[in-house]
Structure 1
């Protein structure tokens, strides 16, 4: 296969593909499909996705426009014709009124209603749903962290054939945005789900999947090690452990207290975290630690330093300045979600006022030598790396001024954080072909003409 007339930097080149790899990059390589001077970049990766949740969210009641608990309840109440109302994407951190079971009862009646927060760390249930999920009599109906995750699992009880069909649609949509691979952090036994999907013909994405504490011993018993290829499209990822909560839920673990005097939730303290990380690492599975608050990040870095192992931290949203250089020094990658900065700017100014210069500190981290990996945390933000890159490069959205522009990074740096290969001989023929300069303005709406995975089209406009 030969692709011709592609812009690569300041050159116009042809690319010859053989056996799923780039065999030659040069001029006048022969007859092939012309792309008329469109730009080519390496295929894009989203390094943090909850893929089944992303597929399910497209079928749920959208609450993202709700500006109050009363408005969210009313939106949910309009879906009372469903046997179970499931809403998604509410953000109560900036609401003036509080979400309560009583408020939701008034709008939804006896129909069970479960509303999932945008960050996935909280669920808001009416009385019928509280009884259904084992929390009858809960004082507010707002469940957080582990209680919320247990409800998620109950909501996910959709037949495999149905959810896999939705996952196929979601994968095709990702390919249309130039995506060739994802890291799936779904809180489930992801190996089984993806082996089933690939056996059924899912072939639009490369998938690297993580393992959680409840499945760590199973993964070790099955001999799984980080980097093992179980299939051409399926690779073993890392051991994911959550040590704190989230900003919107006010459970991220911080040095300074929230308005109520608490410091958030340290869900896995160091004395529990260290042996878990050691167990995984000694079995060949690299640790991947969720830490959002600044104190949670310090403790996570302390754990990596104590064990003397490399790994990854997910989110690293609020950091102490003293921790910026520790990521590079310890060999800990930083997996971040830039679009969260756009979603969280108002709630951050409310709950972390005076500290937002240390929030989503991408420029500071790069200048300190850290390795950034970009993702969406879909369904928290859209599975679209162009949206992700635009947020990191501009720090602006919706016509508002750039938020902490001193933390902006370059388009080249954003693209590097969103890819895993290069356009060079011997590299995988994972490519995205786009209509505009990928290092220019307005990345958010980038038109994608074609996507290739191992030299095979997964999207062609």
Structure 2
């Protein structure tokens, strides 16, 4: 029983994480929601020490939960060479030059460059800006590495270096590497980059946490805990932030299954993951999820398709053979892990669903596995998500026309992409995330696209019949994601942790084509006002 609220949010309209209610105020005490109702009755609970926050007619809703955010990577990147603000080739190169001038003499790392600006960036472009030290910059999708000549020399990558499995060293007419490395080829250089320390990752996580609070995000799921593409395992940074109390947002993470795992190696991996899960849980970090990239990405022509790409005869490759996928899905499911699967191609989706179906037959009802990205799904497979209990982990910002991938996958496959309504109608539960720093972490921008199937200021609509309602999209980004990756929450209910956000104007009172203009004006995390 509480005496008086610490905080009251009043003068708005309450969305409780599932539906828009008639309530207009929320009271918080001891980090929990203690009362919800109309303004007059909730304000009557206030004392002289109660902070009263006016919503001014805006929406009062649960904090967003990002079900797929590489927050540790994003924070470290933001503190190094962050190229995401650049809107032109010239701006990108200028940011690189300034980052080189502001840093030391060793490796220059970072990322966020845009394939739309740089369809095929070369080492020569980097050499002209930074000729005397190694440079390695991830694209905004983090499946490609752009490096200069010094980086290639240090890594020993030259005309005689063969392409690794599921990787591509792009070459010029003489066979020399151009400095553009896809998928596992990026690791040829990445393995030589000094990894970030736990202290650097800790600082990155806190930087990311504050950036996410600005957007109303009060919890997230980090989909890669483990060494990846030259990047250090972020687990130590998360554990340090939990230990010193600086990580206030709710967070979970997925243990990383590196590409190329064989069927024979699965039992050892499962045993190691069981041990890691227990050790992390003892220190407050939930890692009951395992993450695998089943395939690549369409713009790199590495997503696994049922039919060939339009640009060449290939259809992409899986990052594991099918026997290995079936083995790790079945055995991790039996050990109580949820699978978080990156899949962009329709063949990848089918292979993964077949493996999950086999695990359900073998193990019975199990964890809530989820498929992220959902770029291309055969209609027959979209109907399987619900019956198999597979959650659609949507990166909704991508569900809009993308002229850059049309030459690769064709108009028909692009227009049939991201079938959110079919998934929901088939009984699939919905969650939402950004894939930050691959994409902006702004939930209202993603919700705009989920509802309108178009990006503000850009032309075209991607199959409006697959649009979600505002209620469904907002629920997916709050209670849907929280239920999937945090074990619950994302709700404004008495007794729940007080992660409360104010957004203005109230999106339910305006046109849907204005959703991208909604702004977060206050963020309350565990009862504390972190952004106002």
TM-score strictly above 0.5? yes
| Matches of 1:225 and 1:331, distance apart in 2 | 28
| Matches of 1:148 and 1:317, distance apart in 2 | 23
1:39-438 maps to which residues of 2 (within 5 A)? 39-58=59-78, 59-62=80-83, 65=86, 76=96, 81=101, 82=103, 83=105, 84-86=107-109, 88-92=111-115, 98-102=120-124, 104-137=126-159, 139-140=176-177, 141-149=179-187, 151-152=189-190, 155=193, 157-188=195-226, 189-213=233-257, 217-222=271-276, 224=278, 230-231=283-284, 234-258=285-309, 259-308=311-360, 309=366, 310-342=368-400, 345-353=402-410, 354-404=412-462, 405-420=464-479, 421-438=490-507
CA RMSD, Structure 1 to Structure 2 (Å): 2.9
| Matches of 1:282 and 1:48, distance apart in 2 | 24
SS of residue in 2 equivalent to 1:260: coil
Q: Is the 8 A contact 1:100 1:124 kept in 2?
A: yes
Q: Is the 8 A contact 1:324 1:365 kept in 2?
A: yes
Deviation at 1:78, TM superposition (A): 6.8
Residue 453 of structure 1 corresponds to which residue in structure 2? 525
- Provide the TM-score with structure 1 as the length reference: 0.89
- Provide the TM-score with structure 2 as the length reference: 0.78
Counterparts in 2 of 1:224 and 1:65: CA distance versus 1, 3 Å:
same
Q: Is the 8 A contact 2:143 2:183 kept in 1?
A: yes
| Matches of 1:273 and 1:15, distance apart in 2 | 46
Counterparts in 2 of 1:424 and 1:92: CA distance versus 1, 3 Å:
closer
Counterparts in 2 of 1:349 and 1:57: CA distance versus 1, 3 Å:
same
Residue 5 of structure 1 corresponds to which residue in structure 2? 11
SS of residue in 2 equivalent to 1:257: coil
Deviation at 1:160, TM superposition (A): 2.9
| Matches of 2:453 and 2:440, distance apart in 1 | 16
| Matches of 1:53 and 1:434, distance apart in 2 | 27
| Matches of 2:91 and 2:24, distance apart in 1 | 54
State the number of aligned residues.
454
Q: Deviations over 1:405-424 (max 9, x none)?
A: 23221111110110122222
Counterparts in 2 of 1:187 and 1:123: CA distance versus 1, 3 Å:
farther
Single out whichever of 162-171 and 239-248 deviates more from structure 2: 162-171
